[in-house]
Structure 1
Amino acid sequence: MDATSAPRRAEIARRTSETDIRATLVLDGQGQAEITTGVGFLDHMLVALTRHGLLDLALQADGDLHIDFHHTTEDCGIVLGQAIRQALGDKRGIRRFGHALVPMDEALAECAIDISGRPYLAWSVTFARDKVGAMDTELFEEFFRALVMNAGLTVHITQKAGTNAHHVAEACFKAFARALRMAVETDPRAPGAIPSTKGSLEG
């Protein structure tokens, strides 16, 4: 399904010995979220991503939280990345590139996205503390790496300013959401074209 067709939708189910995750994604949504991961701050970030990306996302995860939050966070990134890739189809008619610069109080984050088919994450973000709530701040990078590897995105996320870990994380998620929203939009000047001189965005 290409960007001129509606709705661009995906359903993904992924079950391992560590997690059981089900997700439904609509790219051309209204920002509606039904998120239950068992990790409160991750829920908060995924709701923000959904709202600012104008996605509709229902995601339920049951993970081995008695160990830690790593598997659940990473696997949610895997599933969301797979859903984005599936919903994009052959990527006909999309803008392909997106960027956003988002402030969150003293924090400022920039995200640039290329729906290239060549997965790569450049993560230039630091946190002043190890946790936000009960969530390890190192897991934000793991989430985005899992997402971009499975969606086939080139993503650069850069912290421009910020000391409050909550604000820094939220600015990163909102910047990603806004950049993704731009990149997946239909280009009205080339509604049926693959935006590549190679004629393919499969890497």
Structure 2
Amino acid sequence: MSETKRSAFIERKTKETAISIQLGIDGRGTAEVSTGIAFFDHMLSLFAVHGFFDLTVRARGDLDVDGHHTVEDVGICLGQAFSRALGDRAGIRRYGQASVPMDEALARAVVDLSNRPYLVLKTPALVERVGAFETELLPEFFRAFCVHAGATLHLHVPYGENSHHMLEAAFKAWGRALDQACSLDPRRSGVPSSKGVL
């Protein structure tokens, strides 16, 4: 982790899940993820790798019911981790965007770390499951992240045929855009807002 040490540790325990997340924003892209949903682990790992975030996720949930609580609660905790690690958000670039291809699929992510949560998510029709991951949980995850990170995220997959490829491109684009938004601008000492606060 760099000298800025923008990091956070979050724990959340409910009757449905037990989650811990360690995040380093200024990392090298190391990931250790275990949620009990292998495809979700894969997505979070490549998000960290392509965003240069050091990320450890440990999650136990009621997967005998379904993946909803686990996926949503990981989104909550990851959002809280970013919000805590960013602090007052002084000096950050605030905005980030990235486009990532994955074979026949393309994804574009645009991020604003505005402290105003909002999600716009558009994809072609996805298969019901990729591995054990229920694709209808995608908006639940990203909405939970946005609310708790204080982030606006526009995530668009304009085309693609393979659901795995579309989701992989989306998570990679999100990681790269978020890395850009979190990065420090040497020209800025305060909060990146004309209001003086985010």
Q: Same fold by TM-score, threshold 0.5 exceeded?
A: yes
What residue is the counterpart of 1:188 in the other structure? 186
Give, as a single letter, the amino acid of the residue that structure 2 aligns with 1:101: S
Amino acid at match of 2:63: L
Measured against aligned partners, the alpha-carbon deviations of 1:113-140 in whole angstroms (never above 9, x if no partner) come to 0000000000111333111012111111
Q: Secondary structure at the match of 1:159?
A: strand
- Partner of residue 130, structure 2: 132
Count of residues paired in the alignment: 197
**TM-score normalised to the size of structure 1?**
0.95
- What one-letter code is carried by the residue in structure 1 that aligns with 2:174? F
Residue type of the alignment partner of 2:192: P
One-letter identity of the residue aligned with 1:110:
R
C-alpha distance in structure 2 between counterparts of 1:71 and 1:128, whole Å: 21
1:119 aligns with 2:142: no
Residue number among 77, 80, 84 corresponding to 1:79 in the alignment: 77
Q: Tell whether 2:22 aligns with 1:24.
A: yes
| AA in 2 matched with 1:197 | S
Counterpart CA distance in 2 for 1:147 and 1:120 is: 10
Q: Report the identity percentage.
A: 51
Q: Which residue of 1 aligns with 2:145?
A: 147
Deviation at 1:193, TM superposition (A): 1.5
Does the CA contact (< 8 Å) of 1:127 and 1:168 recur in 2? Answer: no
Instruction: Find the residue that maps to 2:8 and give its secondary structure.
Output: strand
* Structure 2 Cα separation of the partners of residues 82 and 75 of structure 1: 11
Q: Which residues of 2 match residues 14-53 of structure 1 at below 5 A?
A: 14-53=12-51
C-alpha displacement of 1:40: 0.3
Question: Is residue 93–residue 185 contact of structure 2 (8 Å, CA) maintained in 1?
Answer: yes
Q: Which runs of 4+ in 1 moved over 2 A?
A: none
SS state at 2:79 partner: helix
Is the 8 Å Cα contact of residues 41 and 132 (structure 1) preserved in structure 2?
yes
Q: Is the 8 A contact 2:118 2:151 kept in 1?
A: yes
Normalising by structure 2, report the TM-score. 0.97
Query: How far apart are the structure 2 equivalents of 1:151 and 1:145?
Result: 10
The Cα RMSD (Å) is 1.1
Q: Check the 8 A contact 1:15/1:21 in 2, yes or no.
A: yes
Residue 99 of structure 1 aligns with which residue? 97
Structure 2 SS opposite 1:129: coil
Q: Which amino acid aligns with 2:34?
A: T
The range that moved more, 82-91 or 154-163, is 154-163
Q: Tell me: CA distance 1:174–1:157, structure 2 relative to 1, closer, same or farther (3 Å).
A: same
Query: Does residue 168 of structure 1 match 2:170?
Result: no
Report how far residue 5 of structure 1 moved.
6.0
